[in-house]
Amino acid sequence: MGAKDTRRNRGTLAHRARYALGHPGRVPAHARRALRDAWLRLRHRDHIAYYRAVMASDAARSAEAAVGHNPSREQWARIGRMQFDYLVRHGLRPHHRMLEIGCGNLRAGRLFIDHLEPGHYYGIDISPHILLAAQDTLVREGLQAKLPHLTLADDLTFAFLPDGHFDVVHAHSVFSHSPLHVIEECFAHVGRVLAPGGFFDFTFDRTEGEEHQVLHEDFYYRTQTLAELAARYGLAAEFMADWEELPHRQSKMRLTTMSDRASTVRP
């Protein structure tokens, strides 16, 4: 895929008008989404409640579409495989304990679960609808014996999880749908649940221009903003440059606690 388009502000009226002229066939669907989102924002002031309602509405149509823009099963499987292959190349081992934030319907989770020892996968999500779809994936893939944990969460404080437990924390396409205060809450607490030498990988929609959002659903951040925010909570950031070569429009960052910068994951 090569270089990503990181300068454009997709939230401006000018961009949206240009896009509409270039893609007239997509205008009705975008208009429907804008109306639906405006209605849901009126009903739910809090971002998590709002986004949970967005997921309920999307999942009612198709769980695959709810976790990705392209609803085809092939595309769903391809993006899951890409996440999995990348994480295995970058350190995920079967004995690791993994927390997946925003696990969705286990697009990648099903591969993580299969790879990890029984009980070592812990997926959390804000959407009960998508967690039910995740159970369907488990059944379809015959992964019951791996006994993964799938838990509904209301925030990213991880208050119900133990200290120093997870070697790997992963969040794909979650911060691309999160305002900064949600990301900050995660950064403030993730260090507590990371095991010594553990790491937290996440994707984000990167901009090199002005930070912006579209319909309160898609959020674009500068790398430096997220790295500085992480540093405030004792986390060191590494931009995953080789992820940029993959056919995916987001970027990826890895956080480790500053106290164990020298080490990587447990051998």
For the record, the structure tokens of 132 come out as 């039910």
As beta bridge partners, residue 214 has 218
We find the least distance from the C-beta atom of residue 54 to ligand SAM, in angstroms, to be 8
Binding to ligand SAM by CB under 6 A, coded x per residue (else -) over 128-157, reads --x----------------------x--x-
- Closer of 51 and 220 to ligand SAM (Cβ): 51
The yes or no reply on residue 167 touching ligand SAM (CB under 6 A) is no
- Closer of 18 and 73 to ligand SAM (Cβ): 73
The number of helix segments (H) and strand segments (E) in the chain equals 9, 9
- Closer of 140 and 261 to ligand SAM (Cβ): 140
The yes or no reply on residue 104 touching ligand SAM (CB under 6 A) is yes
Burial of 178 (0-12, 13-18, 19+ CB in 10 A): buried
Burial of 55 (0-12, 13-18, 19+ CB in 10 A): buried
- Closer of 36 and 266 to ligand SAM (Cβ): 36
Which residues, 175 to 204, sit near ligand SAM by CB under 6 A?
177-178, 182
Stretch binding ligand SAM (CB under 6 A), from 26-34, 96-104, 191-199, 216-224: 96-104
We find the least distance from the C-beta atom of residue 155 to ligand SAM, in angstroms, to be 7
For the record, the structure tokens of 14 come out as 């000018």
Rounded distance between C-alpha atoms, residue 14 and residue 20, angstroms: 10
- Closer of 22 and 113 to ligand SAM (Cβ): 113
Which residues, 26 to 55, sit near ligand SAM by CB under 6 A?
48, 51, 55
The yes or no reply on residue 108 touching ligand SAM (CB under 6 A) is yes
We find the least distance from the C-beta atom of residue 56 to ligand SAM, in angstroms, to be 9
Size of the site for ligand SAM (CB under 6 A): 23
Contact 41, 213 (CB under 8 A): no
Contact 7, 209 (CB under 8 A): yes
Q: How far is CA 182 from the centre of its chain?
A: 12
The yes or no reply on residue 122 touching ligand SAM (CB under 6 A) is no
Q: At what angle do helices 180-193 and 223-232 cross, to 10 degrees?
A: 50
The yes or no reply on residue 110 touching ligand SAM (CB under 6 A) is no
Stretch binding ligand SAM (CB under 6 A), from 84-92, 157-165, 166-174, 215-223: 166-174
For the record, the structure tokens of 136 come out as 């369907």
Q: Enumerate residues 6+ apart whose C-beta is below 8 A from 42.
A: none
**Member of 53, 102, 202, 221 binding ligand SAM (CB under 6 A):** 102
Collapsing DSSP states into helix, strand and coil, what is residue 56?
helix
Phi, psi of 97 (to 5 degrees): -105, 125
**Applying CB under 6 A, which residues contact ligand SAM?**
48, 51, 55, 67, 101-104, 107-108, 124-127, 130, 153, 156, 172-174, 177-178, 182
